[in-house]
């Protein structure tokens, strides 16, 4: 009974909430395969709710680590783009940089926001 309620809750999350939250499961993005909600659903279906809880807890911990890795990668890419004169929106803002790498005031190229 409780397992069935958990499966219905996960199905509702996957159907109505997950598509609207704007980001994907970090574990799935890093490692591939199914996302955390799909993993939880399969674990509950295969093992029952109480036996699945440690499996779900371990997967969510791995997802937190994957999210930290994704943030670290994104920060490194953003830093690299700025170093090369390419800002996050894909604009080439290198003409806005002064002779010592400083930003020139009021520089706007082709509608790109080249503010520091």
Q: Is the pLDDT of residue 12 over 90?
A: yes
67/73 Cα distance (integer angstroms): 10
Burial class (CB in 10 A: 0-12, 13-18, 19+), 100: exposed
114/87 Cα distance (integer angstroms): 7
pLDDT mean across residues, the chain: 81
Q: Is the pLDDT of residue 98 over 50?
A: no
Lowest mean pLDDT among 18-22, 31-35, 53-57: 18-22
Q: Is the pLDDT of residue 116 over 80?
A: no
Cβ neighbours around 3 below 10 Å, total:
15
Mean pLDDT of 73-86: 70
Is there a contact between 78 and 90 (Cβ–Cβ < 8 Å)? no
Name the pTM for this structure.
0.65
């Amino acid at each position: 009974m409780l397992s069935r309620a958990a499966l219905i809750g996960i199905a509702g999350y996957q159907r109505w909430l997950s598509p609207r939250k704007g980001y994907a499961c970090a574990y799935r993005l890093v490692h591939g395969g199914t996302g955390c909600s799909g993993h939880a659903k399969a674990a509950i279906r295969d093992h029952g709710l109480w036996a699945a809880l440690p499996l779900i807890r371990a997967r969510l911990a791995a997802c937190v680590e994957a999210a930290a890795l994704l943030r670290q990668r994104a920060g490194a890419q953003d830093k690299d783009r700025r170093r090369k004169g390419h800002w996050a929106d894909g604009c080439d803002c290198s003409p806005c940089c002064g002779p010592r790498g400083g930003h020139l005031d009021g520089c706007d190229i082709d509608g790109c926001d080249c503010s520091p």
